[in-house]
Amino acid sequence: MKTIGVIGAGTMGIGVAISLLQKKISVRLIDIDKDQIGRAKTEIENKIAIYSMLRGIDIDEEATKNNILYSTDIQTLKYADIIIENISENIEEKNKLYHSLESICKKDCIFMINTSCIPIKDIAQDLSIKTHMLGVHFMNPVPLIDAVEVIQAESTSEGVLSEALLFLKGLGKDSIVVHDSPGFVSNRISHLMMNEAIFLVDEGVAKPEDIDKIFKCCYGHKMGPLETADLIGLDVVKDTLSIMGEYFEGNKFKIAPLLERMVAENNLGRKTGKGFYKY
């Protein structure tokens, strides 16, 4: 049985860990913040039964607890078969992490980068492991979304891509493979939509609930752009737009002033109890 290392114990790392545990896969969940590891342990134990019930999955909660190791020590990943990395969207931090991993992990380890918008080539450059690196953009909430955006960089070997797709299929994920580019497909489009919706609120054109209702009732979307922004976290939306703005000329990804204000006021959406809606 494969051992999977999950780096980053935030929202995405927790979701990925739950999806792995539901398939009885051995997990090593790593975060540099000891307190965050404690919070992740509590959240996983509280949510795995709920997510499993929603998906009709029978789980042995006690066995599941024994199938995951929580740690702040990256050395525990030395025998991992696959690493799924979910740290913050900071290219310097990601580069630093992968330079450490290339001296720790097995030569045949596969590295799945769960990034929102940073091109894989910018993370993989100058690394000896770049042929084993690819992007895997899981969607939130991970246990409930059956598709992933897989990003094949120019340096990603075909064998690694094939093995990664086989692994994701075993997780019950439908992989949609795209080529490497800032924001890839999903976030290059979706963040423009969310940002423009925020401009419309700020300009007084429409209320948040009416904007979302148009997308749900007229276009058949399950969630509107502002509900989606609240789910992702407005700070994450802002950071992603900022990074995208560095890659594209002009004002295409200019951050809406209302978004700037809401983040400054810590109204970040679901995780703080208030965004465009109250929770």
Same structural domain for residues 196 and 152?
A: no
Is 190 annotated in the active site?
no
> Considering the chain, what percentage of its residues have pLDDT values greater than 90?
93
Catalytic residue among 19, 114, 116, 190: 116
Same structural domain for residues 25 and 110?
A: yes
Is residue 34 assigned to a domain?
Answer: yes
What is the reported pLDDT for 53? Answer: 87
Catalytic residue among 52, 86, 155, 187: 187
CA distance 236 to 269: 10
- Model confidence pLDDT, tens digit, residues 211-252: 999 999 999 999 999 999 999 999 999 999 999 999 999 999
Is residue 279 assigned to a domain?
Answer: no
Same structural domain for residues 144 and 234?
A: no
Catalytic residue among 149, 181, 242, 267: 149
Catalytic residue among 19, 86, 137, 195: 137
Same structural domain for residues 171 and 211?
A: no
Check whether 1 has a pLDDT greater than 80: no
What is the reported pLDDT for 60? Answer: 83
Annotated binding site: 8-13, 31, 89, 94, 116, 140, 271
Q: Are 7 and 15 in contact (CB under 8 A)?
A: no
Same structural domain for residues 155 and 199?
A: no
**Residue 184 CB partners (closer than 8 Å, separation 6+):** 117, 135, 137, 149, 151, 178
Which amino acid makes up residue 18?
I
Per-residue CA distances from 41 to 46, 49, 52, 208 (Å): 9, 13, 17, 34
What is the reported pLDDT for 62? Answer: 82
Q: Which of 140, 159, 179 is the last residue of a domain?
A: 179
Mean pLDDT of the chain: 96
Same structural domain for residues 86 and 214?
A: no
CA distance 10 to 142: 12
Please compute the mean of the pLDDT values over residues 150-174 and round it to a whole number.
98
Is 149 annotated in the active site?
yes
Q: Which of 116, 150, 179 is the last residue of a domain?
A: 179
Q: Which domain holds residue 97?
A: 3-179
Same structural domain for residues 109 and 73?
A: yes
**CATH classification of the domain holding 200:** 1.10.1040.10
**CATH classification of the domain holding 43:** 3.40.50.720
CA distance 27 to 216: 37
Is 92 annotated in the active site?
no
Same structural domain for residues 82 and 153?
A: yes
Annotated binding site for NAD(+): 8-13, 31, 89, 94, 116, 140, 271
127, 126, 152: which is closest to 137 by C-alpha? 152
User: What's the token pair of residue 113?
Assistant: 């980068």
User: What's the token pair of residue 231?
Assistant: 């789910």
- Model confidence pLDDT, tens digit, residues 88-120: 999 999 999 999 999 999 999 999 999 989 999
Is 179 annotated in the active site?
no
146, 154, 101: which is closest to 128 by C-alpha? 101
Q: Which of 120, 148, 179 is the last residue of a domain?
A: 179
- Model confidence pLDDT, tens digit, residues 23-65: 999 999 999 999 999 999 999 999 998 998 888 888 888 888 9
CA angle 90, 208, 261 (to 5 degrees): 45
Same structural domain for residues 257 and 122?
A: no
Please compute the mean of the pLDDT values over residues 126-136 and round it to a whole number.
97
User: What's the token pair of residue 197?
Assistant: 């919706």
137, 130, 175: which is closest to 157 by C-alpha? 130
Same structural domain for residues 25 and 150?
A: yes
Same structural domain for residues 198 and 126?
A: no
- Model confidence pLDDT, tens digit, residues 186-219: 999 999 999 999 999 999 999 999 999 999 999 9
Same structural domain for residues 140 and 162?
A: yes
pTM, to two decimals: 0.91
Please compute the mean of the pLDDT values over residues 172-199 and round it to a whole number.
97
Check whether 16 has a pLDDT greater than 90: yes
Using only C-alpha atoms, the chain has a radius of gyration, in whole angstroms, of 19
The count of domains in the chain is: 2
Q: Are 132 and 81 in contact (CB under 8 A)?
A: no
* SS3 of the chain: helix, strand, coil, percent, to 5: 50, 15, 35
